[in-house]
Structure 1
Amino acid sequence: MAVFARRLCHIAVHVPSGQSFARDLQRFFGFQPLAEREADGWRQLALRSGHAVFLVNEGVGNREPLYGVDLRYAVPSATNLCFEVADVGSATRALTPRGCKLLVPPVSVQDVQGAATYTVVSSPAGNVNLTLLERADCRGPFLPGFQSLPSATSSAGISHVDHLTLACTPGSSPTLMRWFHDCLGFRHQPLSPGEDPEVGLEVAAPSGRGGVKLTVLHAPPSSAVPYLVLAESLQGATEQDQIEKFLAHHRGPGLQHVGLYTPNIIEATERVALSGGQVLTPPEGYYQQPGKESQILAAGHEPSKLAEHGILLDGEKGKFLLQVFTKSLLAEDTFFLELIQRQGATGFGEGNIQALWQSVEEQAARGQETKG
């Protein structure tokens, strides 16, 4: 029987000391400091906006940090997803027979704010591990062992994590899909009618050479766990695409980006721009596509406003999806964020997927021209 994950608690990111990742979350996206811990050469800082929480681990300590595992990974990386479960012991007993390696056996920690128990298990998704956390007796704003920090009210409008996208090696999506189904109860969510879960949605690159294959998984409806998106390259590209570049820069599969939900994507994107953040530019001619203007107007938005901020829009029959994608937040080009607003849409918009693919490729080409 699969483990039932109640919700996503936090996403852990490991970066060297002094890297600006934590500052960028605050400056560009309105995340506020929640709690911190310093020990054994590590500084751990939890930041929150709405229900979205990042745990930023900075340092080069010789011991693994609390509530996660340091694999001494070669580059900065999002390495751990922490899910709340009802009973860590039961979860461990359920996952071990399924081939999940226990990286940290069940551990109980406590302080004046209460107690929590956690375990860390490996996953087949590259260096991404899962922390399973039981925190019914924890009364603090974060977790035992962390010192609470005063924080202002976030004004960025980020409410929660909408989805997590894993960059996968070609042909690995079916194996990953079965693992997340068997271990955590995730199920396939079709992006197109009649979609074969073993095939997923294949979106060809505008050039007709290569493209991306996406498989979307959803947790049981009663949970507050984000969508999980598996992304892998299609064969036929003449040059490395963004999935292949991620695999090369990251030195293997991993968490490529996190989709952050906002009820007002225009305000959220304006904040990013005014604070100096950078988003990807949509492909040339995106807003001049036949029917795009009427589609944007039908969704209640001004085409010029979306174009000003590089916001993509897709949808039909009164259900729309708006998205904007940031440039990498790590120098190694191994992680970026997405802002997403749903107006009734539950999918990911095939037109937006193709536009994202093209915009990333064009951005990379411009970067190469600049270097040349």
Structure 2
Amino acid sequence: MALSARRLCHIAFHVPAGQPFARDLQRLFGFQPLAAREGDGWRQLALRSGDAIFLVNEGAGPGQPLYGLDSRHAVPSAANLCFDVDDAASAARALAARGCLMLVSPVSLRDAHGAATYTVVNSPVSNLSLTLLERSGYCGPFLPGFGPVPSEPGPNWVSHVDHLTLACTPGSSPILMRWFQDYLGFRHLPLSPGEDPMVGLEVSAGVGRGGLRLTALQTPVGSDVPTLVLAESLSGASSGKDQVEQFLDQNQGPGLQHVGLYTLDIMAATEGVAAAGGQLLTPPEAYYQQPGKEDQIRAAGQEPGRLASQGILLDGDQGKFLLQVFTKSLFPEDTFFLELIQRQGATGFGQGNIRALWQSVEDQAARYGLAG
């Protein structure tokens, strides 16, 4: 029987000392410091926006950062997903019995606010490890070993993590899907009627431009784990590298490409990010000039001009819509970006918008001489 993860605790990132990632999360995206720790050559800072928590591990000390491990990855990237479980030690034994590699045996920590136990296991995704955390009785600001950090109220643009997207090598999605099913209890979430889980949803970006294969996974009803989306490139691009292939090159393998952050007001969030200096991808002008696009936007209760001014994409029909906007990479390498997403009844991931996003990224790459 697969392990049942109850919720996502945090997403951990490893960055070099002095890298501005933590500062950018605060200044550009409204995250607020939650708790911090310094030790073993690491500075660890947990930041929060709504229920979304990012743990930034800065440095590369002789010891291990708490609640994870040093992957010694060549570029800054998302390094670890931490999930709450009922019993970390039992989970470790069960996974080890099924052949899962334990990277950190169960460790228990305690402070004045209670105790927590965690273990770290490998995943089938390159440098991305998984932490299983038991903290049901803990009532501190974050986790044992961390001290509180004074902060002022933030803009509250984000409520929670909507989804996690892993960039995968071509043909690997079925293998990854089976791993997350067998070990962590995920199950296939169809993105189209009658979808074959071994095939996923194929979204063509146009003749000679390749496209994406998307496979979505979710945990059983009652858990609070974001949807996991596996994304891989389709063959057929006539020239250059698409953004998934570029990620695989820059990240030196598969990994967490982006996090979808849910917002109740994407217009306010996007305007706030832009005003703070955050860099957003913009779709080509022709996107908003597609036949029926203006009517579709108005049917969703939105103003076409306002969406176009912020580069917000809209997909959906029959009264169910999805709005989304993407940032540029938050690292010098193209190894991680954010998505702001607002749902008006829609449950997909903007399949109809993929071509527009693809076009905007490819056009931008060509403009700066990055394609080919």
Report the TM-score when normalising by structure 1.
0.97
| 8 Å contact kept, 2:60–2:70 | no
Q: After the TM superposition, which residues 93-112 of structure 1 pair with which residues of structure 2 at under 5 Å, given as runs?
A: 93-112=93-112
Aligned to 2:44: 44
Aligned to 1:236: 236
**Identity of matched residues, %:** 72
Aligned to 2:167: 167
Aligned to 1:320: 321
CA distance in 2 between partners of 1:233 and 1:349 (Å): 16
CA distance in 2 between partners of 1:304 and 1:164 (Å): 30
SS of alignment partner, residue 56 of structure 1: strand
| 8 Å contact kept, 1:281–1:363 | no
SS of alignment partner, residue 13 of structure 2: strand
SS of alignment partner, residue 258 of structure 1: strand
CA distance in 2 between partners of 1:337 and 1:202 (Å): 22
One-letter code aligned to 2:318 = K
| 8 Å contact kept, 1:29–1:156 | no
Q: After the TM superposition, which residues 236-275 of structure 1 pair with which residues of structure 2 at under 5 Å, given as runs?
A: 236-237=236-237, 238-275=239-276
Report the TM-score when normalising by structure 2.
0.97
One-letter code aligned to 1:98 = R
Q: CA RMSD in A?
A: 1.3
What runs of 5+ residues in structure 1 fail to find an aligned partner? none
One-letter code aligned to 2:263 = T
CA distance in 2 between partners of 1:349 and 1:44 (Å): 34
Instruction: Measure how far apart 1:60 and its partner are.
Output: 2.0
Q: Does 1:3 align with 2:11?
A: no
SS of alignment partner, residue 329 of structure 2: coil
Instruction: Measure how far apart 1:207 and its partner are.
Output: 3.6
SS of alignment partner, residue 86 of structure 1: coil
One-letter code aligned to 1:241 = D
SS of alignment partner, residue 369 of structure 2: helix
What per-residue deviation string (whole Å, max 9, x for no partner) do you get for residues 117-158 of structure 1?
Answer: 000000001111100000012110100000011222221420
What per-residue deviation string (whole Å, max 9, x for no partner) do you get for residues 171-201 of structure 1?
Answer: 1000000010111111111111111111111
What runs of 5+ residues in structure 2 fail to find an aligned partner? none
SS of alignment partner, residue 33 of structure 2: strand
One-letter code aligned to 2:52 = A
CA distance in 2 between partners of 1:49 and 1:283 (Å): 30
Q: After the TM superposition, which residues 120-131 of structure 1 pair with which residues of structure 2 at under 5 Å, given as runs?
A: 120-131=120-131
| 8 Å contact kept, 1:297–1:303 | yes
CA distance in 2 between partners of 1:360 and 1:201 (Å): 21
Instruction: Measure how far apart 1:206 and its partner are.
Output: 2.4
SS of alignment partner, residue 80 of structure 2: strand
SS of alignment partner, residue 103 of structure 1: strand
Query: Across the two proteins, how many residue pairs are aligned to each other?
Result: 371
Aligned to 1:309: 310
CA distance in 2 between partners of 1:352 and 1:141 (Å): 38
Q: Does 1:203 align with 2:207?
A: no
CA distance in 2 between partners of 1:97 and 1:233 (Å): 34
One-letter code aligned to 2:3 = V
CA distance in 2 between partners of 1:328 and 1:27 (Å): 15
One-letter code aligned to 1:153 = P
CA distance in 2 between partners of 1:296 and 1:242 (Å): 27
SS of alignment partner, residue 285 of structure 2: coil
SS of alignment partner, residue 56 of structure 2: strand
